[in-house]
Amino acid sequence: MWSKSSTPPGLTRLMDSDKYSDLKLVCQGQEFKVHKAIVCIQSPVLAAACDSGFQEATTNVVNIDEFDARTVRRMVEFMYTKEYNDRVEQVSENTGAEYQGSSSLLASTPTTTEILLCHVHMNAIADYYDIPQLKQLANTKIQPLLENTWSPDNFSDIVREVFNSTSDTALRKIMASTAATHMEELVELEDFATLDAMSEFAISIIRTIIAAYKDREDLSTQKLQAVQSQLQQTKSRLQSAEQDCSDEKSLRDRATTRADHIIENVDNCIEILSKTRTCRNPRCEADFTCYIERGGFIDEPKYTLRCARCRCRHKDSWNLRGL
């Protein structure tokens, strides 16, 4: 069936009927009855054939030998509907079937390559008959197929068909861009390297560029690994410095706490001294004089208040224990 969803009903009826048709496109024994007012305003080439003094102007028949009937049928469909059916079909033995006898086309299961070639042929016939909108439509169908269903298989056949059948620079750029994206894979394929569009020198240049790219990629990988190693070493040193700072702070906090305890205990000794008038030893008759004796260990000092004469200990010892 034709693609008619966005086609004005009048044009659809004209396409499906030969009523009022005034021009025939003949290809491979098939006749496509069309209307000059529809096709000539879209194709300057057909318009020139109909308006000139050539045979087509008098017979109203244009013979098309450069393309197959399916491609011509799709071109006519586009001229009436602005779309074409990209279903790949097989033509029955009744090659004399006319345009409206589309039941003679038997559907097959197409491969991606067949669908791509169908669109390439549409670009080619659009290029030949100077139908820019058809070229653009074919390209919008080709590009996503190449991007989303990429396979190196038969890609060389598609490239060969593009460069042999159409001069459309936009399509050639699409093919070149696709090839560049997958060049590392394609350059190893014999059929790609032997394309007429490729020269031995060009292939040599491409392979050299890829080899240089791989070398730079390996070098970049090595540099990245070196940088990662340096970062890891720096991280380890930073963690070690942080641990040292933490240990130093802990020692500093312990020293501060110890000093506070020392001061507190000395103050307690002085307070005891201020409240004591005589030695608590009843046999010591001297006026009470005293001193503070430091004992214990460095990390656990002990301070004792003693009578300076009899060395009698006053009150209990005050202990300072380090944290």
pLDDT digits (tens, 9 = 90+) for 229-240: 877 887 888 888
DSSP code per residue over 215-254 = HHHHHHHHHHHHHHHHHHHHHHHHHHHHHHHHHHHHHHHH
Q: What is the DSSP letter of 20?
A: T
Give Cβ neighbours of residue 34 (< 8 Å, ≥ 6 apart): 21, 23, 24, 25, 76, 79
Going by pLDDT thresholds of 50, 70 and 90, the confidence category of residue 97 is: very low
pLDDT at 75 over 60: yes
Backbone angle region of 20, left / alpha / beta, with phi > 0 → left and psi within -120 to 50 → alpha: left
Low-confidence winner among 36-45, 84-93, 138-147 (lowest mean pLDDT): 84-93
Prediction pTM value: 0.57
What pLDDT does 26 receive?
96
pLDDT at 207 over 70: no
73, 96 in Cβ contact below 8 A?
Answer: no
Label the pairing between strands 23-27 and 61-63. parallel
Which of 134, 136, 124, 29 has the alpha carbon at shortest distance from 67?
124
Tokens of 32: 């496509």
What pLDDT does 281 receive?
75
131, 98 in Cβ contact below 8 A?
Answer: no
What pLDDT does 59 receive?
92
What are φ and ψ of residue 8, in 5° steps? -55, 135
Going by pLDDT thresholds of 50, 70 and 90, the confidence category of residue 79 is: very high
Task: State the average pLDDT over residues 201-216.
Answer: 64
- Considering just the CA atoms, what is the radius of gyration of the chain in Å? 49
